[in-house]
Structure 1
Amino acid sequence: MIKSIFIFLLALCSTNCYAQKDKKPLPEYLQLDKAINAVSAVMIHDVVNPPAASRYYSYIMLGAYNLISLNNKDVIPLSAFIKSYKDDNQISIEKSKYNYRIAAIYCMLETGKQMLPSGFMLQENQDKYLALLKTNKISDEIIKQSVAAALEMTAKVIKYSKGDNYNKLSGRLRYTPLKGGKNWYPTPPTYMEAVEPNWKTIRPMLIDSSNEFVPVRPTPFSTDSTSEFYKQAYEVYRVSKNPPMEQVTIANFWDCNPFAVTTSGHMMIGFKKISPGGHWMNIAGIAVKKADLNFDRSVTVLTLVAITQMDAFISCWDEKYRSNGIRPETYINKYIDITWVPYLQTPPFPEYPSGHAVLSNASAGVLTYLLGDKFAYTDDSEVPYGVGPRSFKSFTAAAEEASISRFYGGIHFNDAIVFGNKQGRLIASKIIEKLKAAKITRQN
């Protein structure tokens, strides 16, 4: 009995000792958030729209994940859970000659540099990164071979990205909005044209098709003041009158409009912000740090969140341009109050369902699976834009707040939020099902 207890304690000690070693603070040159923030900064500069941003985050993370998987047998290969990913990921550099973690970060920057319109701006980040490695006394040969490994992997990711139909979008027919009735129409102050009306044609990562999770039909359009649709519109209108400060704060915190415009006389001023996907990538980065995950597991979490976002936008945009729903601003100005202006600027695409609701619930579901329920954290993603930070008791709580923020902001009807939440949760469930089948389990 005593011998058994001793063996158990020895095993427990070994496990704890390993965990402590595994959770040793990462050096500055292996901080993933620096690379992600650099890529996000270029996306903000380029005013990348939300669906496109999710695509860039996905490919930026795939190369890093591949390098981890090649060098860590516990990290499941992409081909085990992404059906379309069949490329051979072997590279010519011997494993012993390069640092795969350094290569992973350089690969993230290189992929962004090659894919983003203003990707050349990331050259400065790469130069600073190489200087940081030398400051940390990483040998010139390891740096050289790690960069070579990163470049090889980037080429493979770029090759894979070219098969997702993105390059065919510009050749499709331009979207012509239908004025009047229930249909979406461009909104003030810029009346921008519809964003990515053909996004449903992009190849998904983990879901089977863009129309796999079609939500229930939105509330039937009506101008009758006794109808459910009118009541929904009036509720948006009512909530916007003298809102409490907490609602204003919540609306601002989750605004995530890549390009909002404010007017002053004849002058228009544009404000650039992080996209909704960028916000959730930042949440994932905050979470992996709080969980003290090692580098490899951090890359795993960030990659899975990124590809979840990509699928969430494909699924959501499929429905947006099917139902082609009118925005509250258009309806309220025509049928309730011509002078009404929503608190947040209305984004340039149809109303139903709420993109924030779909994206946030899908991301929260996958993060909960990977890091656990009741994972409390403080989100400072919006501090650079003058809002926050805010603390949450769980990813689910954050998703719920993100969803309702669109109602507080006056840019979504309630059913777009309710059924957007459900759609996002269904997407998360499908993705989790595939992760389980690939034996990808909790990461902390």
Structure 2
Amino acid sequence: MSESGEGKQVALGGIPKPRRVLLTVGATLLVGLAALLGFAAALPSAPDPVTEWNAIAATVTGSLNRGLARQRALAMVHLAIHDACNAVRPVYASYGGPPPAPAGASVDAAIAAAAHEVLRATVERPSPTLEVAYYRALLATPPGEPRRAGVAVGREAARRILALRAQDGADRAATALPAARAAPGTWEPTPPKHLPALLPGWTRVAPFVIPRADAFRPPPPPAIGSALYARQYEEVRQIGAERSPARTPTQSDTARLWARDIGEHWNAIARAAVNSQTETRPPDPLRTWHRARLYALLNLAMADGFLSGWEAKYHYRFWRPVTAIRQGARDGNPATAGDPHWSPLLPTPEHPEYPSTHSVLSGAAAQVLRCTLGTDQARFTVEGGERLAPVVRRYGAFSQAAREVVEARIYAGAHFRAANEEGLRQGERIGAWVCERALPPLRASAPAANRGGAGR
């Protein structure tokens, strides 16, 4: 063998260059495969593909902005899944118009492709978890024309939903809040960071189902000169303070349990309820279709709940307890004792107080789950709190959890009671509206559906 430079390039370390390239590529693929297997092992599993994709979507959308954009994305994902299922077999009315579906198209492949397409378009950065989940779903579907047709159906369903929401105003939600005259009762940036108002332009995002953003606007908050306001003020001042002697450890845990993204909580509750029903009820040939509608209605109601709550927040622009209590001596109400050093248990979000969107979304979600599952009774566990101090609690009804959210936001020092009570009622009305009007059963297909047919 030549000792020239050319010869050294051809055979380095006894391995010819073409073979070294193949070995390098092979090693890279092995490393990549190991990584993918690690991701796949961490992905959720569920009794039906819709529930599985709900968990995947909840994970993948975690990077989106503070619940609002995340909830919009989840509604779009589940609309695409719903429409893809009902293109393969029409059971419920579609939202974006049923895409064409050849006979025999795989519903599982359609679900995976629909979710994947929407998530790729809405999540801000590439997600290995999403890609692994998608290819794992396709590998679980037998190869051939049914899988290819299912993928085409799912992608078209997703494209239609994305097109419908392309000009919905979400890209203009970060517009600045117009200045307002400083006055008692008017929202202003809150300590400690005094951040500007969060996404005030979200009030102009197009709703999914409700007719207008202000259609379910609650009545005004209690006037700050009233006795009712003074009572609610004193309640938060006492029990919502950072070091409140009036708040029990259990109440502090309740505040921390429900502090995170409320839509994430209610999707997890839905998955638990669905899993429980799957274990206790006989097999249902249309289970996938029913689940697709349930998650679509749930996330539609919460997306519109956010919009409706946001519209009311920026309409009333009511001040937060931390501002109200620190300025209590100057609010004109002789029954409010001010405390310039008062701080809440948990950080105050950077948007107006009334109503509580935690409560709006909880009312909407509980109402949807009641109407789709036919009962308020369900056993589920909710997990939250801090990483080093997790809180786990068990519930027996959707209404029980929703009512606890009302109390949790008072314990946290984030809201007065009226914001939570009215928010809960507002959400229940939205949930009922969505259940009654969105994605209704197709009467023509009902007899065939009742005779059974293709399941997963």
Distance in 1 separating the partners of 2:235 and 2:197: 26
Partners of 2:344 and 2:412 within 8 A in 1:
yes
1:282 to 256, 264, 268: 268
Distance in 2 separating the partners of 1:65 and 1:345: 37
Q: What whole-Å deviation, never above 9, does each CA across 1:122-143 have from its counterpart, x for those lacking one?
A: x543234424543x47226554
Report deviation, 1:324. 0.3
Q: What whole-Å deviation, never above 9, does each CA across 1:149-196 have from its counterpart, x for those lacking one?
A: 3322221121111132223435x5544465442111111222222122
Aligned residue for 1:150? 154
Letter in 1 for 2:236: V
Q: What whole-Å deviation, never above 9, does each CA across 1:92-113 have from its counterpart, x for those lacking one?
A: x5232x3122221232122111
1:55 and 2:72 aligned:
yes
1:249 and 2:253 aligned:
yes
Q: 1:414 to 1:405 in 2, by over 3 A?
A: same
Pairs within 5 Å for 1:71-86:
71-78=88-95
Letter in 1 for 2:322: E
SS in 2 for 1:389: strand
1:326 to 307, 319, 324: 319
Partners of 1:353 and 1:417 within 8 A in 2:
yes
Q: 1:31 to 1:68 in 2, by over 3 A?
A: closer
Distance in 1 separating the partners of 2:393 and 2:47: 28
Aligned residue for 1:420? 423
Aligned residue for 1:90? 99
Pairs within 5 Å for 1:258-269:
none
Aligned residue for 2:347? 345
Q: Which of structures 1 and 2 has the bigger CA Rg?
A: 2
Report deviation, 1:199. 2.0
Q: 1:378 to 1:192 in 2, by over 3 A?
A: same
Letter in 1 for 2:113: Y
Q: 1:148 to 1:71 in 2, by over 3 A?
A: closer
SS in 2 for 1:382: strand
Distance in 2 separating the partners of 1:144 and 1:284: 31
Pairs within 5 Å for 1:127-166:
127-131=132-136, 133-134=138-139, 136=140, 138-139=142-143, 142-166=146-170
Distance in 2 separating the partners of 1:283 and 1:371: 13
Report deviation, 1:89. 2.7
What CA RMSD, in Å, does the superposition of the two structures yield over aligned residues?
Answer: 2.8
Matched residues, percent identical? 23
Aligned residue for 1:228? 228
Q: 1:200 to 1:438 in 2, by over 3 A?
A: farther
Partners of 2:381 and 2:393 within 8 A in 1:
yes
Report deviation, 1:70. 1.1
Q: What whole-Å deviation, never above 9, does each CA across 1:278-302 have from its counterpart, x for those lacking one?
A: 2212211221111117222111100
Distance in 2 separating the partners of 1:27 and 1:194: 38
- The TM-score normalised by the length of structure 1 is 0.78
Letter in 2 for 1:94: P
Distance in 1 separating the partners of 2:385 and 2:321: 29
Report deviation, 1:411. 0.6
Partners of 2:93 and 2:439 within 8 A in 1:
no
1:431 and 2:439 aligned:
no
Partners of 2:92 and 2:440 within 8 A in 1:
no
Partners of 1:61 and 1:302 within 8 A in 2:
yes
SS in 2 for 1:49: coil
Distance in 1 separating the partners of 2:57 and 2:439: 30
Aligned residue for 2:288? 295
Distance in 2 separating the partners of 1:353 and 1:67: 36
Partners of 1:366 and 1:432 within 8 A in 2:
yes
Aligned residue for 2:301? 308
Q: 1:180 to 1:288 in 2, by over 3 A?
A: same
Distance in 2 separating the partners of 1:227 and 1:436: 45
Aligned residue for 1:390? 393
Report deviation, 1:327. 0.2
Letter in 2 for 1:425: E
Distance in 1 separating the partners of 2:406 and 2:442: 31
Distance in 2 separating the partners of 1:381 and 1:296: 28
Alignment size in residue pairs: 381
Q: What whole-Å deviation, never above 9, does each CA across 1:19-72 have from its counterpart, x for those lacking one?
A: xxxxxxx986954444333333333334x2222222111101111000111122
Pairs within 5 Å for 1:64-213:
64-78=81-95, 87-91=96-100, 94-96=102-104, 98-118=105-125, 120-121=126-127, 123-131=128-136, 133-134=138-139, 136=140, 138-139=142-143, 142-170=146-174, 172-176=175-179, 178-213=181-216
Letter in 1 for 2:89: N
Contiguous gaps of at least 5 residues in structure 2: 1-43, 279-283, 329-337, 450-456
Aligned residue for 2:36? none
Partners of 1:392 and 1:398 within 8 A in 2:
yes
Report deviation, 1:437. 6.8
- The TM-score normalised by the length of structure 2 is 0.76
SS in 1 for 2:377: coil
Contiguous gaps of at least 5 residues in structure 1: 1-25, 79-86, 257-274
Distance in 2 separating the partners of 1:158 and 1:76: 18
Aligned residue for 1:38? 56
Distance in 2 separating the partners of 1:436 and 1:150: 18
Aligned residue for 2:21? none
